[in-house]
């Protein structure tokens, strides 16, 4: 688990605000789902023989004996919500969500047992154009955040039927070389053999490189779908690499899969991942519905921004109100409210708890305020306020409240 402290939250808020604006620009609407779901939902959607279900879920029985799970990912819950609320019947949906997910993983840098994701899902569109839209949208998000050191990898997993046939061929190949498999790969050999292709074990790379290629066993429709997707990416001038070893760890994926990866975060290099899952709605009892989505990990994304020194500074107060004397103290809080009413968007921090002029100016400097507003006994008696620049050269002035409001308005609108 990990606390997000005040000095970090401005970065989180920045990323969330940029993501929200980008997604809304593409017509995606926010949906909010519960953190707790019935365990059966994840077993049916993710797959009982995946690492998530076998080893990583936080599952418990409630007082009624029902098995509940803290959500390890968001897609299954989003599909469940759409089915229950009638959002999928003869409709197209573009949705997004954000919030905490939970997995009992081995703690390491960049991985937390409570982590945060932004997820994006689109339902009811079967063509490669919506796959391309989501890739373009994620690329636009990176540009809006000032990220350049991420690269796109794409692949196709084919249909469920074609992949099942390929799995049999792959298992036969791997069984003939079991002595070269590590312990984790032997465990996955018959339950989830595609994940062996994604192994980072250097001793297995030659074996994996020589394995039969899924691309050689795609069904015709999936091959055409993937070629059309690549055509969209080429036409847009978006650089990408076809990675035949790119697979997803969840059973519900089919056809398009993609990842945005970086070399700047060590072993945890995947920042965003997604793809098609046309069969999931049917698996969960709904009418078969084409679907595609992706999720980005906020912890990794923010770690990358920090590594690249692309984190914007937190918004500092425009002004800090220094007050001293009984008359000023009586008027200070009310004055601050009048100024906030008169100047929309004004970030004004008022000194509370007393203190000398010197100590209050230190506080104003520490919070990086641009100006100090000074209300002492004399100013309070005359109905005026002092204005002193703190981040630039300039003389202190004493202004009537109306003139001060005009000046603060200019500062806010700069």
Of 37, 44, 32, the C-alpha closest to 99 is 32
User: What is the rounded distance in angstroms from the CA atom of residue 18 to the CA atom of residue 257?
Assistant: 24
Per the structure block, which two tokens stand in for 280? 């999931």
> Are residue 104 and residue 138 in the same domain, yes or no?
yes
The residue that leads in pLDDT, 50 or 140, is 140
> Are residue 271 and residue 365 in the same domain, yes or no?
no
At residue 377 the predicted structure's pLDDT band, cuts being 50, 70 and 90, is: confident
Residue ranges for the known binding site for L-histidine are: 73-75, 103, 117, 121, 248, 252-253
In the DSSP assignment, the letter for residue 189 is T
- Does residue 259 form part of some domain? yes
> Are residue 298 and residue 322 in the same domain, yes or no?
no
- Does residue 300 form part of some domain? yes
pLDDT the model gives residue 48: 55
Q: Which domain range does residue 294 map to?
A: 4-157+217-306
Instruction: Give the predicted TM-score (pTM) of the model.
Output: 0.88
pLDDT single digits (tens) 7-56: 899 999 999 999 999 999 999 999 999 999 999 998 887 765 555 666 68
Q: Which residues contact 221 (CB under 8 A, 6 or more apart)?
A: 159
pLDDT the model gives residue 334: 94
> Are residue 67 and residue 119 in the same domain, yes or no?
yes
Domain boundary among 252, 282, 306: 306
- Does residue 327 form part of some domain? yes
Give CA angle at 100 (94, 105), nearest 5°.
Answer: 120
DSSP result, 306-371: HHTT-PPPPPPPSEEEEE-SHHHHHHHHHHHHHHHHHSTT--EEE--S---HHHHHHHHHHTT-SE
Whole-number average pLDDT of the chain:
90
> Are residue 151 and residue 253 in the same domain, yes or no?
yes
> Are residue 348 and residue 272 in the same domain, yes or no?
no
Domain boundary among 306, 338, 371: 306
- Does residue 209 form part of some domain? no
- φ/ψ of residue 297, rounded to 5: -85, 120
Query: What's 86's domain CATH number?
Result: 3.30.930.10
- Does residue 26 form part of some domain? yes
Q: How far is CA 250 from CA 128, 275, 280, 376, in A?
A: 21, 11, 11, 65
Residue ranges for the known binding site are: 73-75, 103, 117, 121, 248, 252-253
Per DSSP, the three-state class of 19 is: helix
The packing angle between helices 128-145 and 220-235, to 10°, is 40
Of 101, 92, 86, the C-alpha closest to 33 is 101
Of 244, 251, 247, the C-alpha closest to 283 is 251
Query: What's 373's domain CATH number?
Result: 3.40.50.800
pLDDT single digits (tens) 85-139: 999 988 999 999 999 999 987 655 557 889 999 999 999 999 999 999 999 999 9
Per the structure block, which two tokens stand in for 391? 């981040």
- Does residue 201 form part of some domain? no
> Are residue 145 and residue 250 in the same domain, yes or no?
yes
pLDDT the model gives residue 112: 84
pLDDT single digits (tens) 225-271: 999 999 999 999 999 999 988 887 666 788 999 999 998 887 778 99
- Does residue 167 form part of some domain? no
Q: What's the total number of domains in the chain?
A: 2
Of 391, 395, 338, the C-alpha closest to 369 is 391
> Are residue 297 and residue 374 in the same domain, yes or no?
no
pLDDT the model gives residue 390: 93
> Are residue 138 and residue 253 in the same domain, yes or no?
yes
Pairing mode, if any, of strands 397-400 and 384-389? Answer: antiparallel
- Does residue 172 form part of some domain? no
pLDDT the model gives residue 89: 87
Domain boundary among 248, 272, 306: 306
Whether 257 contacts 157, CB under 8 Å: yes
| pLDDT above 90: residue 167 | no
Whether 388 contacts 319, CB under 8 Å: no
Residues 58-75 have a mean pLDDT of 92
Q: What percent of the chain has pLDDT over 70?
A: 95
Give CA angle at 108 (106, 109), nearest 5°.
Answer: 155
> Are residue 334 and residue 272 in the same domain, yes or no?
no
| pLDDT above 90: residue 345 | yes
Of 30, 84, 39, the C-alpha closest to 65 is 39
């Amino acid at each position: 688990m990990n606390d997000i402290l005040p000095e970090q939250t401005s970065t989180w808020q920045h990323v969330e605000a940029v993501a929200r604006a980008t997604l809304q620009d593409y017509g995606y609407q926010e949906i909010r789902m519960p953190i707790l779901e019935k365990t059966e939902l994840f077993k049916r959607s993710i797959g009982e023989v995946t690492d998530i279900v076998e080893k990583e879920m936080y599952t418990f029985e409630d007082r009624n004996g029902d098995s509940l799970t803290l959500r390890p990912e968001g897609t299954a819950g989003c599909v469940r919500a759409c089915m229950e609320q009638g959002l999928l019947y003869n409709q197209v949906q573009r949705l997004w969500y954000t919030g905490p997910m939970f997995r009992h993983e081995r703690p390491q840098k960049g991985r937390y047992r409570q982590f945060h994701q932004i997820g994006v899902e689109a339902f009811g569109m079967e063509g490669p154009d919506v796959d391309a839209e989501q890739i373009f949208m994620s690329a636009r998000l990176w540009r809006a955040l000032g990220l350049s050191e991420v690269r796109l990898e794409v692949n196709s997993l084919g249909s469920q039927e074609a992949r099942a046939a390929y799995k049999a061929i792959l298992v036969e190949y791997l069984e003939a070389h079991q002595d070269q498999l590590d312990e984790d790969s032997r465990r996955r050999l018959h339950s989830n053999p595609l994940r062996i292709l994604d192994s980072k074990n250097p001793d297995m790379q030659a074996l994996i490189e020589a394995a039969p290629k899924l691309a050689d066993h795609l069904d015709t429709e999936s091959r055409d779908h993937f070629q059309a997707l690549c055509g969209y990416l080429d036409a847009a001038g978006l650089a990408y690499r076809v990675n035949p070893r790119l697979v997803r760890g969840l059973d519900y994926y089919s056809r398009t899969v993609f990842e945005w990866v970086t070399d700047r975060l060590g072993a945890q290099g995947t920042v965003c991942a997604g793809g098609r899952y046309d069969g999931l709605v049917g698996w969960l009892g709904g009418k078969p519905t084409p679907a595609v989505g992706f999720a980005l990990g906020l912890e990794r994304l923010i770690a990358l921004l920090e590594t690249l020194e692309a984190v914007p500074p937190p918004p500092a107060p425009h002004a800090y109100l220094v007050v001293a004397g009984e008359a000023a103290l009586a008027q200070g809080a009310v004055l601050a409210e009048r100024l906030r009413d008169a100047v929309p968007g004004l970030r004004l921090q008022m000194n509370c708890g007393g203190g000398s002029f010197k100590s209050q100016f230190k506080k104003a400097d520490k919070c990086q305020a641009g100006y100090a507003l000074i209300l002492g006994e004399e100013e309070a008696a005359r109905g005026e306020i002092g204005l002193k620049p703190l981040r630039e050269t300039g003389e202190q002035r004493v202004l009537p409240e109306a003139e001060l409001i005009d000046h603060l308005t200019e500062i806010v609108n700069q």
